[in-house]
A and B are shown apart, each in its own frame.
Chain A
């Protein structure tokens, strides 16, 4: 049984008066095995974060899951009552956010914040939770954990804080970890260390990882599979190597081509013309067609469904209609 199966998920933001509907996530389907790493790639506004929040049912007011199912370990999370979801959050599915400074409460000690999930979910006593917290700090490679445990967030560096956020996430041994751009606000030199830490934690605990990023380089290094999002839809998905070697969707192709490569000093820097569309006013048909160099008449009229492209690879593009 797959660890996570998302089928036809749609999350919309609806203004209070019902006048504007923003289709942040539209008809999304993908699946994840235990221990697998999935990279979710897309520009800002593509719906990546909304997807993550939808999985944890932590949407802001005005946003709603309007259709689809999220099967986690066989159970559909969408219709579950809040009380049950709260038991899953932090315990079986955990999440790491982008900004480590903002994620930690400035008024409470590190130890308090790391021990908290253990006390709430596993009902541990204060002493045993703090002991485990110290162990967790060691696991995320923080030196002198006995001292750090009593310190406050502002006394630590950005890299250390992000590790602590990681420690909080794995504290209750979740099966799935969602990381929303965890390295974007870290120094480049720290990024590699953090990524290797995530990899090791994953192997040690058998975690499945959903890694949300706009950085294709990280996807290439970290992920087994990749899902490309554009304007709220999944436009391509498949094994990492396959996608990088032979991208099927024009958007994916353009993304990969826009990565500057060393030694290509004669080739020009390519960028994708135009801007991502406003999610509340999407163009008809395929959302990418205004910027697509291979757009056809059909693309302007109808939004393409997923087509199979080789083993395990799918692309939502009319170019692959015949296969």
Chain B
């Protein structure tokens, strides 16, 4: 078990290095980084000062060293617009994004799993066709468009829900729905195929041979087994949600890290952009590591395999 953990930790470490390297290289090598890292409207003196600070005249390796040094000290730069360290800014926004992600993920599972089971049990029937249609639509509708349509309908026409901000329960409804919609379709699809596979298995056959009522066969024997791959996917998707969250948060002006990234672009505030991408990537690497380790803890078979 220890061996597995150390190996896995090593991989994460390499990924983090590669991540920072990629970001670093892209910034340094594409033209003059000072245009990005300096405030718009800065004087020539400021530019020269920044150039010296970044050590642009020194070798790439040294630059990378100081870059990493700063990161490890928690110095991700300062936002032009907010005039605060970006790291602080990021941390203050993070809880909102996490909250949105959790609600959206719950929604996607609550909708996706039962629909998938129903589609599998009534395979090739009406519910199955409805389910497949739902899945197809879910995967083809861009999430932000769903958000826009929701605002159009529920805020502009009906006036029921607020279209932006992060006040109370009503505020999180539409953003969570828009964010979870795509994943609900993906989860439904996987639940359906996983359930179909389980329903064809020998132990389900035996359960029927035992003369168990159908509800017990499906609810007890099939359900738990079918759920395993879906939960795995949900774990992976939680991380992918960050992607989609960028737009959704922008559409609904939800004060999370996604919207922070957007602000960085809109205001040409590059330190925000760079830091958000770095921190976002890091978070994902860490979450993946935790998920993998957790998996090994729960399923002993994985432990012994590695």
Contact = CB atoms under 8 A, between A and B. Distances in A.
Given A58-B205, A102-B201, A120-B216, A87 B210 contact: no
A97 B201 CA distance: 12
Contacts of B221: 105, 108
A202 B250 CA distance: 72
A159 to B, nearest CB: 17
Interface string A87-100: 11111001101010
B204 to A, nearest CB: 8
Nearest to B223: A107
A58 B208 contact: yes
A86 B217 CA distance: 12
Given A97-B202, A120-B216, A105 B211 contact: no
Contacts of B225: 105-107
B205 A91 contact: no
Contacts of A58: 205, 208-209
B203 A116 contact: no
B203 A103 contact: yes
Nearest to B300: A154
A117 interface: yes
Contacts of B220: 108
A88 B211 CA distance: 7
Contacts of A248: none
B60 interface: no
Given A120-B213, A120-B216, A105 B207 contact: yes
A140 interface: no
B201 A91 contact: no
Chain A interface extent, by class:
20 to 34
A86 B214 CA distance: 9
A120 B203 contact: no
B224 interface: yes
A56 B301 CA distance: 36
Given A105-B225, A107-B224, A107-B225, A91 B211 contact: yes
Nearest to A92: B211
B62 interface: no
A121 interface: yes
A89 B211 contact: yes
A94 B209 CA distance: 7
Nearest to A168: B210
B206 interface: yes
B212 A97 contact: no
A87 B221 CA distance: 19
B200 to A, nearest CB: 9
Contacts of A116: 210, 212
Nearest to A117: B210
Interface in A14-62: 56, 58
A165 interface: yes
Given A94-B210, A102-B202, A103-B202, 7 more contacts: A58-B208, A58-B209, A88-B211, A89-B208, A91-B211, A108-B221, A120-B216
27 contacts: A58-B205, A58-B208, A86-B213, A87-B211, A90-B209, A90-B210, A91-B211, A94-B209, A95-B209, A97-B205, A97-B209, A99-B202, A102-B201, A103-B202, A103-B203, A103-B205, A103-B206, A105-B207, A106-B225, A107-B225, A116-B210, A117-B210, A120-B211, A121-B211, A154-B301, A168-B206, A168-B210
